Amino acid sequence: MSLEIKNLKLWKVFNSRLEPTVAASINGNTSKAPSGASTGSHEAEAFVPESLRKLEKELKEKFEGKKLKQEEFDKELERFDGTKKFSKIGSASIALSQAFKKAEGFKKSNVFPYPVSNIVGGGEHGGKTSIQEFLVIPTNAERFPEAVETNASIYREFKERYSSKMMGKNDEGALVTRMDDEEVIKKLNKVAKEHNAKIGLDIAANELWDGQKYEYKSLNMDIKPKDQLKFVKKLVEEYDLFYVEDPFHEDDFRSFQLLRRETDCLVVGDDLFVTDKARLSRGIENGSGNSIIIKPNQAGTVSKTKQTFDKAEKNGFKPIISHRSGETCDPFISYLALGWGAPMLKVGIADIRIAKLNPLIKEWKKLEEEGKNPRMAEL
């Protein structure tokens, strides 16, 4: 069904790092574009165009009064920009595409994603550890509110139990500690097990890779590619990791393949795939991993994001919808995850990250009250 675009607006706002970003409104439905600190070189560009007022005028002339479907609107945005990575209109692309989706409406579903929460942080997101994110996944939770409470309890308990080693929080609301990487993994795993949850890592290996080796400054280690595989495999086996994201740099499809063959955990590509259908197709063909991070702003439009999401599902890759480090309070990806039936939603647990979780708690309660039997997705 087509949507008539009656009103289109663009303006500058700020994200959680107080960096400028773009907000867009279509027919009164507003969405805001996030940005990442740890980014892949193949993803769509995220920036505020030099003259938003001029861009808004051009887009109003192009779109207002037209009736379009999401795919048609997004394709017209691509044509208007004229580059492969939205190098002309930057963050305006995803802000507008998401605003169109909000105006069009989300599909209703009673299948909820498991929240993946960043408890301890480091790397490019700020912190002592070289590994970027130490995650928990409440794999045994039977209700979404229970799943969020489990992750919140782990966050609070870890913070209190090791309070003498805390140094504050990073820009994702994750805890920053004086512990090294392996000490964090060991202690977080202990707390998570007490709550019947699993742990995972976002190694963000792109940020450790210097072109020849991986540099773990926090551990005083330089690791060659073949030894990186051994190191990651050791962590998976020793700590029973459920999830490992970006264990190798963005073009090392072969190592992703080997880790997938040699372990039973989720081997997740973020910088490897950057929500790009063509790169995912290569990963599927090579058996490089078994899961993909889905970030709409990496693709630049909702339609391109959906194409990659569907490709993953069809080929047995788990699609995990994710926030960015430079977030806003826009809950768009939460409703997207619910509408598309994503098995997991990676959105942190503290500070403004809760803005992504509270709306889904409300949706779960609403469905329960209506007798529609909400349930958790299959992992």
Q: Which residues are catalytic?
A: 172, 295
Distance in angstroms (rounded) separating the CA atoms of residues 33 and 135: 24
Distance in angstroms (rounded) separating the CA atoms of residues 201 and 46: 25
Task: Tell which residue, 205, 199, 268, has the closest CA to residue 235.
Answer: 199
Biggest distance spanned by C-alpha atoms of the chain? 60
Distance in angstroms (rounded) separating the CA atoms of residues 26 and 56: 12
Distance in angstroms (rounded) separating the CA atoms of residues 245 and 253: 13
At a CB cut-off of 8 Å and minimum separation 6, what does 314 contact?
A: none
Task: Tell which residue, 218, 9, 21, has the closest CA to residue 126.
Answer: 218
Distance in angstroms (rounded) separating the CA atoms of residues 10 and 89: 11
Read off φ and ψ for residue 42, nearest 5 degrees.
-95, 0
